[in-house]
Structure 1
Amino acid sequence: MRILIFAAAMVAAAPAFGQALDVHAGRLIDPATATVLTDQRIRIVDGRIVSVAPWRASANDSAVVDWSGFTVLPGLIDLHTHLADGAIEANANDPAEPLKHSEAATILAGAAAARTELRSGFTTVRDVGVYRGLTDVALRDAIAAGQVDGPRMFVAGGYITTPGGGGEIDALAPDIPLPETFRIGVVHNASEARDRARYLLDHGADFIKLIATGAVLALGSEPGALELSPEEMQAACDEAKLRGSYCIAHAHGIEGIKAAIRAGVRTVEHASYLDAEGIAMAKAKGVWLDMDIYNGDYINDVGTRQGWPAEYLRKNIETTDVQRRGFAAAVKAGAKLTFGTDAGVYPYGLGARQFAYMVRYGMTPMQAIQSATSEAARALRLDGKVGSLAPGAFGDLVAVRGDPLKDVAVLEHVDGVIKDGRLIR
């Protein structure tokens, strides 16, 4: 890739006040309008997009990135990652893995995961829970301060979960207590759910993650089973709303999906056993479905070869195909769908593999791109700020060879990344 007039100092730090960057895009995909423009100039000043217009050589001293041979689109958004739990990815088959790393080691591994995720084209992520409470807050803040390279993060701080539920580590003997930092969101009733939601938001969480049902990658937890009660979910959602935030729900089983929607969650994660009534409820309430339809194949392939727990593999087989059928039905019904991959279950940096699955199961390539840009931004309440080319949006761009509207899989190999007007690669 040819890059012109781009000083090394600018690569190493955020743009100085008044610093302008012109990006020459050969083809430019605008997800908000579902249009494609050619030979465009995206001007970024102080890390924000100020204009998009036909290319002409700059008359001032602005830096120029020459992506005239590439397809350019806004930075991608993944609404379901686990970057701050980066220490678990290397040995995901061990249910006790999070307990085998110090807090410092976990955060350092998270920093490495964040850098990998950013370089793969995801400039904004929602990190949807950690086992060791509040480590995600620390990682988010380090990235925001420029101390760590990574995507813009929105974090949950921990999980609101029942004792021994899908948000707890359940790999030790019953008489071995877990450290309290690993039980930061464990609740027994609605009053405690409200209290824990308040605690997490007071300590830096951006939103609240509810473990409404059992999980695939958790021992003794069945995905179809309701774990949090409707009253507990309602109490947490009421508290989040009171504080200007919102809840999301890990929910595989249909009763959990419906209870979470009734409680007022903003997005439903996984939604494996989604049915027609659940789709209709989500549409009626304006709830987004965030369905990780790629990683079932990864778990089945790699998990089988590496000898992951039989319980994990059994539950993965039970949920993978039915989830994809539900996704296809939701697309056909016109439900709101976002891009979320469960990064950390598979190696970081591979999340763009999900685009091809979304197209295979009913989306057009443009719809798949929108799910990871303009639609994800709306779910984040950042419409026009991330995943966008609008004036005032963060200066986040990615460049790829080829045309993702003809072959969406080209997004799996990103050639260039800009975040906040700073060239990452």
Structure 2
Amino acid sequence: MKNFLLLPALLVGSILMAQETYLHCGNIVDVQSGKTLSEKTIVVSGKSIKSIQNGYKTGGEEDIVIDLKDKTVLPGFIDMHVHIETQFNPQTYVQRFTLNEADVAFISSLHAKHTLMAGFTTVRDLGGSGVNIALKKAIANGTVAGPRIFTAGKSIGTTGGHADPTNGMKKALMGDPGPKEGVVNSPEDGRKAVRQRYKDGADVIKITATGGVLSVAKSGQNPQFTIEEIKAITETAKDYGMLTAAHAHGDEGMQRAILGGIKTIEHGTLMSDETMDLMVKHNSFLVPTITAGKQVTEKAKIAGYFPPVVAKKASEIGPKIQGMFQKAVKKGVPIAFGTDAGVFPHGENAREFIYMTEAGMPIMEAIKSATVTNAKLLGMGDNLGQLKEGFLADIIAVDESPKDNVETLRNVTFVMKEGKVYKSM
């Protein structure tokens, strides 16, 4: 038996060669019940959890033992809203014209690694150029280290809407993008756009139901789809087994999205009490992205960081997300953890836990939203989101109990994904 207090760097990744791995866990968080269990051994075989045993057990001579007796162990986190290709900076608008797809691919691989090292073993990418689909495949086949990705590919908007890739360009470059580029203007366009994303290799569908903050367009909140267009998109997505999400800041656009069959509402900044009740009724989930709101609010104060049209929207919309979230929690709106990483630096995703608890959500409920809830939404409820026999061995550890100190979630010291150790300190 090989026994390591803390796995040396040379052995990180070699764990797959072992017959079995025994994790000696001082404390394990049962995210389903919210209880903390002490002195357990998680036995990992291949990519999955073989068993969880009482006390500290050891195996045969070829097995590996990892000592996490002074740690709190949790399932890997799931972030339902990231943009893995980008990390916003003052040059972002210019970089649309200066970076090649290969440049974006190399940059996004770093973002993926930072995300995984922060304990987020699964993410839902909600819009990029299409490099996100290639990155998903590269991570899945082991070429690149990163979280498991469920991606929307290129998000879907309307002409001049938040996801129109030609917003802000001179007329000679605007052209007339259509469903292939993610721009739709009819139910027929919507169906074609969904099918194109399926063909491209996307897993989920994301629409921009209202204006947005960071697009070079005047409104950050007006409705931008008809209900008929949304229904055509959600019905087609259902045919292809794809989860749907809607970026939305304005209230009318949210209501159309919910009534049109969208499952998750991203941001939800100006959500009314009526819309909150509608979400409860239709079991629609709010993905709050409070961290992104905090980030754009701060950056809007820096002269020249955003174009003037963007800075104005950031100052008006950004500060309101956390207050809306506080009301939504009290109303019983279903919550799914998501951050909008890429608006702020990748790897800082756990900041969201702090803002959620500041707004009154108990930490164990916040953690459950980032594990059990999100796994179920992704159709992976029998494989991800819990430390449980038969589940994939996505396992992380922190130094303290998050019940005592939520900040500990920002310093993940151990990361295992599908039985392979990526981080050990």
* Normalised-by-shorter TM-score class: over 0.9
- Does the alignment pair 1:36 with 2:36? yes
Which has the higher mean CA deviation after the structures are superposed, 55-64 or 178-187? 178-187
Matched, 1:155 2:151: yes
- The alignment partner of 1:265 has SS state of coil
In structure 1, C-alpha distance between the alignment counterparts of 2:382 and 2:348, rounded to whole Å? 26
Greater mean deviation of Cα atoms: 354-363 or 171-180: 171-180
How many Å apart are 1:178 and its aligned residue? Answer: 6.3
The reply on whether 1:142 has 2:143 as its aligned counterpart is no
- Specify every segment of 5 or more residues in structure 2 that has no aligned partner in the other structure, as ranges: none
2:294–2:319 contact (8 Å) kept in structure 1: no
User: What does 1:188-267 align with in structure 2 at a 5 Å threshold?
Assistant: 188-267=185-264
Aligned amino acid, residue 51 of structure 1: S
User: Partner residue of 2:80?
Assistant: 79
- Residue deviations 1:210-260, cap 9 Å, x none? 111100011114222011221111111110101122311111111111111
Q: Which amino acid in 1 is paired with 2:269?
A: S
Q: 1:98 to 1:65 in 2, by over 3 A?
A: farther
**C-alpha distance in structure 1 between counterparts of 2:66 and 2:176, whole Å:** 49
The verdict on how the C-alpha distance between 1:181 and 1:352 changes in structure 2, with shifts beyond 3 A counting, is farther
Q: Which amino acid aligns with 2:315?
A: I
Within the candidate set 274, 278, 281, 1:277 is matched to 274
The secondary structure found in structure 1 opposite 2:79 is strand
Equivalent pair of 1:79/1:125 in contact (CA under 8 Å): yes
Tell me which of 87, 104, 107 is aligned to 2:105.
107
Separation in 1 of the partners of 2:14 and 2:103? 25
Q: Percent identity?
A: 33
Write the letter of the residue equivalent to 1:277.
E
Partner Cα separation in structure 1 for residue 307 and residue 401 of structure 2: 40
Q: Indicate yes or no: 2:13 matched with 1:21.
A: no
Contact 1:249 1:269 in 2 (8 A): yes
Q: Is the 8 A contact 1:136 1:155 kept in 2?
A: yes
Which residues in structure 2 correspond to 1:7-406 (within 5 Å)? 11-12=12-13, 15-16=16-17, 19-60=19-60, 61-83=62-84, 85-86=85-86, 89=87, 91-92=89-90, 94-130=92-128, 132=129, 134-169=130-165, 170-177=167-174, 184-305=181-302, 307=304, 308-406=306-404
The one-letter amino acid of 1:64's match is V
SS in 1 for 2:302: helix
| Structure 2 residue identity aligned to 1:76 | F
Question: For residues 227 and 259 of structure 1, do their structure 2 counterparts lie closer, same or farther at Cα, with a shift above 3 Å needed?
Answer: same
1:105-140 alpha-carbon deviations (Å, 9 max, x no partner):
11111111101110011000000111x2x2111000
Does structure 2 retain, via aligned residues, the 8 Å contact 1:384–1:393?
yes
Q: Mean alpha-carbon deviation: is it higher for 323-332 or for 73-82?
A: 323-332
Quote the offset at 1:300 in angstroms: 2.3
1:128 and 1:209 in contact (8 A); partners too: yes
Deviation at 1:314, TM superposition (A): 2.0
Gaps of 5+ in 1: none
CA distance in 1, matches of 2:52, 2:217: 53
Per-residue deviation, residues 341-381 of structure 1 (Å, max 9, x unmatched): 11001111111111110001110111111111111112212
Structure 1 pair 155/27, CA: closer, same or farther in 2 (3 Å)? same
Q: Secondary structure at the match of 1:338?
A: coil
For residue 311 of structure 1, report the CA deviation from its aligned partner: 2.4
- The change in CA–CA distance for 1:180 and 1:165 in structure 2 (over 3 A counts) is closer
Aligned residue identity for 1:165 = G
1:383/1:92 CA distance change after superposition, 3 Å: farther
Give the CA deviation at 1:52. 1.5
Query: Contact 2:213 / 2:314 at 8 angstroms: preserved in 1?
Result: yes
Q: Deviations over 1:191-223 (max 9, x none)?
A: 011011011112211011111110001111422
Q: Which amino acid aligns with 1:32?
A: Q
Report the AA paired with residue 412 of structure 1.
R
Q: Deviations 1:283-337 (Å, cap 9, x if unpaired)? A: 1111111011122222222343362223223212222333222211111122210
Aligned residue pairs total 418
Give yes or no for contact 1:219–1:312 (8 Å, CA) kept in 2.
yes
1:70 deviation in Å?
0.9
> Which letter maps to 2:63?
S
User: Hey, what's the Cα distance between the residues in 2 that align with 1:179 and 1:79?
Assistant: 31
Instruction: State how far apart, in whole Å, the 2-side matches of 1:183 and 1:202 are.
Output: 10
Hey, what's the Cα distance between the residues in 2 that align with 1:281 and 1:137? 33
Counterpart of 2:142 in 1: which secondary structure? Answer: coil
1:92 positional shift: 4.8
CA distance in 2, matches of 1:342, 1:183: 24
In structure 2, C-alpha distance between the alignment counterparts of 1:9 and 1:412, rounded to whole Å: 25
Aligned-partner Cα distance in 2 for 1:6–1:180:
51
Name the CA distance, whole Å, in 1 between partners of 2:77 and 2:209: 28
Q: Distance in 1 between matches of 2:14 and 2:249?
A: 42
Written as runs of structure 1 = structure 2, the 5 A alignment for 1:406-425 is 406-425=404-423
Over 3 Å counting, the alpha-carbon distance change for 1:30 and 1:237 in structure 2 is same
Shift of 1:65: 1.4
State the Cα RMSD in Å: 2.1
1:96–1:171 contact (8 Å) kept in structure 2: no
Q: Give the AA of the match of 1:82.
A: H
Question: 1:209 corresponds to which letter in structure 2?
Answer: K
Aligned equivalents of 2:154 and 2:136: distance in 1? 14
Asked whether the 8 Å contact 2:28–2:36 carries over to 1, the reply is: yes
TM-score computed with the length of structure 1 as normaliser: 0.93
